[in-house]
Amino acid sequence: MTEQKTEIIFNSQVASGTFLMGMRSPEIIAEAAPGQFVMIRVSPGLDPILRRPFSICGIQRDDIFLVLYRVIGKGTLALSRVTQGETLSVLGPLGRGFNLPEKGRKAILVSGGIGIAPLIFLAQKMHDMDILFLSGYRSKKEIVPVGWAGLSGIKTFISTDDGTIGHKGPITDLLETDISGSSHEIPFVFSCGPLPMLKRVAETTLEHQIPCQVSVETHMACGLGACQGCAVRTSSQVNRTYFHVCQDGPVFDSRSLDWKNL
């Protein structure tokens, strides 16, 4: 883990309210694994004072790591105004990422909205595997184009809540259809997105006894295990009461979390 001033290589809008930012840091890239995140001081000044957490979304050219983010408040708005050539303080990579399955296994990636960010990096690392990528959005205008990610050849399906493109309804519909339709092979499921979607993914995979890893988002003040602000309750299968999402996660085996109290 390093803390450094990191140069912005680009910061461009790619969909409604959504930006893709490239930051130069060979040091962070050397350690980064899919599912890990960085804490970014989103403006060169002290307002806002707290860093914001963002998943590492991919790597370009061996020296640029990517962050895909949606503008939802003060910090992400400030980030969207940062321009090429400026530097921001970045801490990372942080947390525990995804455990990759052995080669040859089928993987189903299920994202909701901006939850696609860590799964793009995961898909890049699993390019030689049989991957089905299911991405859900509220509407067509929020769809993140992923041509830059080098994921051609991966089977991809999209759903939208309003039916403007793809399947109309939650992306978990497509997960359930795929799992029910495949008679023999047990896939690995990896998911990131809003809590109700993650809960449904966890229920479905548990019901079919399919291994599932989820990336969970909580508010994070420090990202380092110091503030206790990111605690989530564990399930009865785990020999402790809480996990700290910043250190024990953000990626967890879905069976280890207490979904009723998240």
Ligand X SMILES: Cc1cc2nc3c(=O)[nH]c(=O)nc-3n(C[C@H](O)[C@H](O)[C@H](O)COP(=O)(O)OP(=O)(O)OC[C@H]3O[C@@H](n4cnc5c(N)ncnc54)[C@H](O)[C@@H]3O)c2cc1C
Residues numbered 228 to 247 that lie near ligand FES (CB under 6 A) are 228-230, 244, 246
Q: Which is nearer to ligand FES, 32 or 220 (CB)?
A: 220
Nearer to ligand X, 36 or 204 (CB): 36
Query: Which C-beta is closer to ligand FES: that of 115 or that of 250?
Result: 250
Site mask, ligand FES, residues 195-224, x = CB under 6 A? -------------------------xxxx-
208 CA to centre of own chain: 24
Taking CB positions, which residue lies at the least distance from ligand X? 73
Give the pairing type, strands 87-94 and 2-15.
antiparallel
Taking residues 112 to 151 in sequence order and writing x for each that binds ligand X by CB under 6 A, - otherwise, the string is --x--x----------------------------------
- Cβ nearer to ligand X, comparing 121 with 178: 121
Cβ proximity to ligand X, 192 vs 202, nearer residue: 192
Asked if 194 touches ligand FES (CB under 6 A), the answer is no
Quick one: tokens of 218?
């909580």
Q: 151 in helix, strand or coil?
A: coil
76 contacts ligand X (rule: CB under 6 A): yes
Alpha carbon distances (Å) from 17 to 22, 42, 70, 201: 17, 16, 6, 26
Opening angle at CA 187, ends 185 and 189, nearest 5: 165
Angle between helices 171-181 and 195-207 (to 10 degrees): 10
> Using the rule CB under 6 A, which residue among 142, 178, 217, 248 binds ligand X?
217
28-40 in b/e form (b: 16+ CB < 10 A) is bbeebbbbbbbbb
CB of residue 146 vs ligand X: minimum separation in angstroms?
Answer: 14
User: How many CA atoms, within 13 angstroms, populate the side-chain half-sphere of residue 166?
Assistant: 22
Q: What beta strand segments (E) does 16-139 contain?
A: 18-24, 37-40, 52-55, 58-60, 64-70, 87-94, 106-112, 130-137
Minimum distance from CB of 114 to ligand X (Å)?
A: 4
Judged by the rule CB under 6 A, the positions of this chain that interact with ligand FES are 220-223, 225-230, 244, 246
Judged by the rule CB under 6 A, the positions of this chain that interact with ligand X are 37, 52-55, 68-70, 72-76, 114, 117, 217-220, 250
